Amino acid sequence: MTYNIRVYKRGFADNRVTKTILLAPVEYWWFVSEWHNNTGSCQQSGHYPNCLSFWSSWWLEGFGWWRLRNKIDVNKIMNGTDHVLEQLIIDSMFQWEWGSIIIANDRHFTIFDDNKKIFYASRDEIVQGDGKWWRNVFNIKIPVGGIIDCELYADVLSITTGVSSHFSNMTLVFSYIPSTPPTPATVTVYVYDKEYGTPIRNAHVSIMSGTNVIADGYTDSDGWVSIKDIKATEDGTDYVLDVNKSGYRAYKTQITVYPGDNKFKVPLERVKGEINWGNIVVLSVGAATVGTVIYYVYKNRGKISSEIKKHITLSV
């Protein structure tokens, strides 16, 4: 999957142990905290289960406030000191149908530490791709030490055809000094076709810490790849596993890596043929034109026959 990337540079420390938390699947991580309408886990292929969407059509407004169902206790899940919230990542897009008249498209993202607001991204900062994912990367670098909560709010309204606002792969990246030094780990990944169960060769497997690629590799003919020397702490170090292969949907999930050997299985979904509505419109218009011509010829077949005979007689 190709992304456009917009980065807000606020400094990033790369000399610390990191913990990357992917706030997905959304049904596990998020809940509605206040009023909402026409919003929830997006069921589109390639979006589910990592995407929250808000949709509207014909004055049916989509809006809602979402908070973390499972708040993040920094000291509990990161055994160490000097905790810092390094990054926030949000993939976002806006989809609309032909003829949409959009009245509202608002959005913002807030992060709290012990109920105190420590970060806010406004509508203008959260860029949305037009039918394509746009990756927003906020480099934050703020010390934290309590219970981390997040709020996503969006409001979308069209007075005609359908529109929808999407937020996917929302990720928090922390860094800290662990109580015990990290030790090397090996991550072994098996990638296979979800539909047929067969191994997939030459799939690109990346282990990510925020936007940083910690290590990567390609699967062999049997669908396996082993990646060595990954830093892991005794309580587990969280990364994001990112797997890509041409002809398949991109796969992204969080993994916890422990010292020693770690194995994961990744099912990839084939990209099915999608309807090109532009071509459908052109074909429909063309079919309508041909149909009109045929109908005209049929209705006027007597006159046309007479004119042809007359033309032949005159020519002779």
CA angle 2, 105, 166 (to 5 degrees): 35
pLDDT digits (tens, 9 = 90+) for 161-219: 999 999 999 999 999 999 988 999 999 999 999 999 999 999 999 999 999 999 999 99
Global pTM?
Answer: 0.77
Q: What span, in angstroms and rounded, lies between the C-alpha atoms of 186 and 205?
A: 13
Residue 45: pLDDT band by 50, 70, 90 thresholds?
A: confident
pLDDT at 255: 96
Instruction: Round the average pLDDT of the chain to a whole number and report it.
Output: 85
CB 67 within 8 A of CB 30: yes
pLDDT digits (tens, 9 = 90+) for 292-303: 434 443 455 454
* DSSP-assigned letters across all residues of 43-112: -STTTTTTEEEEEEBTTB-EEEEEEESS-EEHHHHS-EEEEEEEEEEEEEEEEE-TT--EEEEEEEEEEE
Residue 251 has pLDDT above 50, yes or no: yes
Phi-psi group of 19: left, alpha or beta (phi > 0 → left; psi -120 to 50 → alpha; rest → beta): beta
Residue 256 has pLDDT above 90, yes or no: yes
Residue 89 has pLDDT above 50, yes or no: yes
Q: What span, in angstroms and rounded, lies between the C-alpha atoms of 279 and 87?
A: 41
